[in-house]
Copies of this chain bind each other. A is one copy, B any other.
Amino acid sequence: MVEFFQQELELPAFNRGYHIITRHIVENCSFLPQLETGILHIFIQHTSASLTINENADPSVREDFKSYFDRIAPENASYYTHTQEGSDDMPAHLKNALLGSSLSIPVSQGRLNLGIWQGIYLCEHRNRGGRRRLVLSAWGNSRNKLS
């Protein structure tokens, strides 16, 4: 039987940069263990922070992400007109568009079916982004045969 679940989740505040939040998501998602096979959808309700999937092992990857995206969406570009919210704001919107606002990840036997090197990144593009709100949704075949 196919079921659909949804909850909201507020993350703690993170520094500007790229942070692995896989464990935080899994531990705070009440319905993940109830799915035999399904999808977990994670949506961030902000336009200056993103979600992406990338390497979960060597922290140097996340450092290089920061260097890279700060270069391809730089602060204070001469042609920016949206400048009143701070020099980190317009680059944050652009990075958000490049990296995306949501993820969809397969669930198998009650667990995220990620590759062995894959982790979920919170990409915080603002200097002081504060706490970020997520909406977690999941659907698929329930493990509860009686449901």
Chain A residues with a Cβ under 8 A of chain B: 2-6, 37-39, 41, 43-47, 52-55, 58, 60-61, 63-65, 67-68, 71-73, 77, 79-82, 90, 93-94, 96-106, 108, 113-118, 133, 135, 137, 139-141
Contact = CB atoms under 8 A, between A and B. Distances in A.
A81 B93 contact: no
B97 A82 contact: no
B60 A81 contact: yes
Contact of A98 (B4, B98, B137): B98
Interface of A is mostly: mixed
A99 B94 CA distance: 10
A133 B105 CA distance: 14
27 contacts: A4-B37, A4-B140, A6-B37, A6-B106, A41-B106, A44-B115, A45-B114, A45-B115, A46-B117, A53-B96, A53-B101, A54-B93, A63-B81, A64-B80, A64-B81, A65-B93, A65-B97, A67-B80, A68-B77, A68-B79, A98-B98, A100-B100, A101-B118, A102-B103, A104-B104, A108-B135, A115-B133
Contacts of A81: 60, 63-64
Nearest to A97: B52
A82 B85 CA distance: 33
Contacts of A140: 4, 6, 137, 139
